[in-house]
């Protein structure tokens, strides 16, 4: 039996329609346009293409965005002054510093300079801590997008055994916290595997739900999955492909062709988790604009 393909693009498009409707109402009733500020340092082509996709998505929803591009040689003070101006700009409700920075040692200082109320990536320690404590916070976009994708696809997380492979601060670790939380989108028993795990397959073979977030192609093979499991692939790995104009193609962490014959549902790469991530960024920016103006959270928040 071949697995149902979870179409992230379609689910994201549905969400974005609802978001666009809310943006239109905000403009009509409150003369308020949610705005996203984007900071890009250097000319990494992958970063450039992510930033462009985010700005395009903003525009499609009727949201405002502003990009500030700095040379790869920009110093810490220069980047901080751009962030600070966005912190003070009332048209900007969400600030995104595209990672990685050319000098990665600057990243933490810069992420902590974004005011938590505009931290729509959910990377600031205050938001991370509030998320972990189950308090209102901007949730990190990829984990949050996965939770909504599962819900929309009819995957029950409550009582399920979820095995996450990869312990990054951006995906694996926050997802482990959110999935294990007593909430409508969580309440799963969660096992977090990583490079220190002796035999990942022992754990994934027991899982109702496997989330691959290791950043390495071939991390999850068919023998590691039990029949009927749900498989979410967060990997976005560029591998060389001379047959493409770009010279590369994207593959996930999962051996898609083989695993889809055993799984009950599976996300493709591209077109799976990726579109959900951008959608949650837009959602957080809308949320920030609403909160900033004392309006309630969007009603479609599940």
Count of chain residues binding its own copies (CB under 8 A): 37
Segment interacting with its own copies, rule: CB under 8 A, options 40-48, 166-174, 266-274, 281-289: 166-174
Interaction of residue 196 with its own copies, rule CB under 8 A: yes
Interaction of residue 124 with its own copies, rule CB under 8 A: yes
CB of 202 to its own copies, least distance (A): 8
Strands (E) in the chain, as ranges, are: 4-5, 35-41, 64-70, 94-97, 161-165, 189-193, 209-212, 230-233, 237-240, 248-251, 265-266
For the sheet containing 94-97, what is the strand order?
A: 64-70, 35-41, 94-97
121 catalytic, yes or no? yes
54 catalytic, yes or no? yes
Q: Are 71 and 42 in contact (CB under 8 A)?
A: yes
Q: For residue 256, which of 280, 274, 287, 232 has the smallest C-alpha distance?
A: 232
Three-state secondary-structure class, residue 163: strand
The dihedrals phi and psi of 188, each to the nearest 5 degrees, come to -95, 155
The Cα 205–Cα 12 span in angstroms is 29
CB of 274 to its own copies, least distance (A): 24
- If the CB atoms of residues 154 and 196 are measured against its own copies, the closer one turns out to be 196
Segment interacting with its own copies, rule: CB under 8 A, options 5-13, 51-59, 196-204, 271-279: 196-204
- Binds its own copies (CB under 8 A): choice among 61, 113, 141, 188: 188
CB of 95 to its own copies, least distance (A): 17
- If the CB atoms of residues 81 and 108 are measured against its own copies, the closer one turns out to be 108
- If the CB atoms of residues 93 and 173 are measured against its own copies, the closer one turns out to be 173
For the chain, the maximum distance between any two Cα atoms, rounded to a whole number of angstroms, is 57
What is the DSSP annotation of 98-138? PSSPSSGGGHHHHHHHS-GGG-TT--SHHHHHHHHTT-S-P
- If the CB atoms of residues 76 and 132 are measured against its own copies, the closer one turns out to be 132
Rg of the chain (C-alpha set): 19
Q: For residue 136, which of 121, 126, 145 has the smallest C-alpha distance?
A: 126
Give residues 198-237 in contact with its own copies (rule: CB under 8 A). 198, 203
56 catalytic, yes or no? no
Interaction of residue 16 with its own copies, rule CB under 8 A: no
- If the CB atoms of residues 134 and 218 are measured against its own copies, the closer one turns out to be 134
Of residues 22, 118, 119, 121, which has the active-site annotation?
121
The Cα 158–Cα 242 span in angstroms is 44
Residues of the shown chain interacting with its own copies in the complex, contacts defined by CB under 8 A: 108, 124-130, 132-135, 158-159, 161, 167, 169, 173-174, 176-177, 180-182, 187-198, 203
Cite the active site residues.
54, 98, 121
């Amino acid at each position: 039996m071949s697995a149902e393909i979870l179409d992230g693009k379609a689910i994201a498009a549905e969400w974005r329609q609802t978001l666009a409707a809310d943006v239109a109402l905000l403009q009509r009733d409150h003369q308020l346009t949610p705005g996203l500020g984007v900071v890009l340092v250097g000319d990494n082509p992958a970063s450039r293409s992510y930033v462009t996709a985010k700005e395009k998505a903003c525009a499609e929803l009727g949201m405002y965005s502003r990009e500030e591009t700095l040379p790869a040689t920009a110093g810490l003070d220069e980047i901080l002054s751009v962030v600070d101006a966005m912190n003070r700009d009332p048209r900007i409700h969400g600030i995104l510093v595209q990672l990685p920075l050319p000098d990665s040692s600057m990243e933490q200082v810069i992420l902590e300079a974004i005011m938590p109320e505009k931290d729509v990536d959910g990377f600031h320690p205050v938001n991370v801590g509030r998320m972990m404590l189950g308090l209102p916070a901007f949730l990190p976009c990829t984990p949050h997008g996965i939770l909504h994708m599962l819900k929309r696809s009819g995957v029950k997380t409550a009582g399920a055994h979820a095995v996450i492979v990869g312990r990054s601060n951006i995906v694996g670790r926050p997802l482990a916290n959110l999935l294990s939380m007593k909430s409508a989108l969580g309440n799963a028993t969660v096992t977090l595997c990583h490079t220190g795990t002796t035999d990942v397959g022992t754990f994934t073979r027991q899982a109702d739900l496997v989330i691959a977030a290791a950043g390495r192609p071939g991390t999850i093979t068919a023998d590691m999955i039990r029949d009927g499991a749900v498989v979410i692939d967060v990997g976005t790995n560029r591998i060389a492909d001379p047959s493409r104009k770009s010279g590369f193609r994207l593959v996930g962490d999962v051996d898609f062709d083989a695993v889809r014959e055993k799984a009950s549902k599976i996300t493709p790469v591209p077109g799976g988790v990726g579109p959900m991530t951008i959608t949650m960024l837009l959602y957080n920016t809308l949320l920030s604009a609403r909160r900033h103006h004392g309006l309630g959270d969007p009603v479609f928040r599940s």
